[in-house]
Structure 1
């Protein structure tokens, strides 16, 4: 064997012993905490196409109602003495005249440990705008997300009872003029004088838009501000305050923008929690796949921490 052949053979042997550095695999998506999977499942189920946009009085709305009732009963959340369901009818003006809607609110009761005859009404509307021009408006953020946050809070309250008694209320007819909330205030299951607070969740899943879950109502109820100021951020999401002063005009003022409005008009304390509008607001594109799980989980943790802080501080 010539010297040249020996050198070439040695070089080939050396190359065969070297390992090629593999291309790094993409990092896996962060795992969803086990206790948060139900939160995401609730939004996914309520905003699926077969719910047909959950319009008030529609078959899709009925399916959504049946699902929420099944979740409350699976958690062992009892109905109040007046019953689980609160049906109502209302006439709503439209371009073609008055439209009559038949809707149904859903109510659960969690007894408190300290202020048992004082109630915090935790609410979120489960209806959306239905189907238009063949397109389903699934309303994942608006407001399957708020319902999911409310249900997760209910689960925590069953595990660790609140100090106040809590009415868990899924309102119907919010998109048709807050008609479910108006009926609830007109025909409350407990005396209005016993309601210490309405804590209303409407659009809680898209906080990554600006990094905030917004709190409205501390301008009208200033004693709540220091209580909620002490709630620490969760992940990348923190509480922010506003959209409730006389300087906030038009769509920037949320004082009457959701189901807390009838409570406010009845002279009852309220806090509203929600995110700012995003490009999918009230569009067929408000779908489950637009939700960033980490942001939604953080918003829900903030909402639950806010409830606990208020529950501890009220009626002291």
Structure 2
């Protein structure tokens, strides 16, 4: 997702149906059984993002963290933030960015504290690659550096069943066939990573999964899809139709790992009769995800300065806490995740 802090899109013309426009073997892992990704409703998550929006030509640093933090400090901060995601929203999944400037560096040694905190709490972690803004062409910036990054990441977490790998976020610079070739190459070069621990992005801006779903070389993987209200202006029913068209018959493998709307502007997402386009879209997304039994990962759970951020960060040092910016928006997340009754989007979720 690339937006300026006001929450308005910086670039993407995606209204209506957007046409869809290699690595060294990992020696530390043996070839894994190619398990199939079946059903995705277990993913109830949020993105934890860099204030700059994860597109960086330097290390990615999610809100609340600092490159001056050591491992123990990152882990303590992450524990506090993840506790907020769990307590306030009911989340059990967090999606975090990686790039070659972050991995295999001193910051990587500290940043792993966030991953370790999450998995230690039982969270699923999706690690996704973002390109840098100096390129911003929808392609891997430096293939050699990308390969090295993923070798390091999978060597560290390939045997941790709670960690998932998303080779690239929003590969809009590739044709459908070229992107499938790239994703298949990633799988071939990482035979030790089970396929049900890999998220293959949809084509374009992750906006359609039907072609990657149909490619047998990618069988057994999860598919990641994005969907946003600023892509167009539609009625509720039209938004439902639009999302379903992008999923096709692939709901059993698909996670909506980015979707969101303004949470600091007073919109009421519990209003079924609401005429605001963002309200319609978010309600359509959350209803569709629930009805299809899909997992979803909201953008963003936390990103300082972003009007879409579901949570606000408070405190300093390791004494951090989160509060929810929009209770009706949080209610829609709990609804999508089936943490409320079918009609109870505004009830407080409970464990059970």
TM-score exceeds 0.5 = no
Give the structure with the larger helix fraction: 1
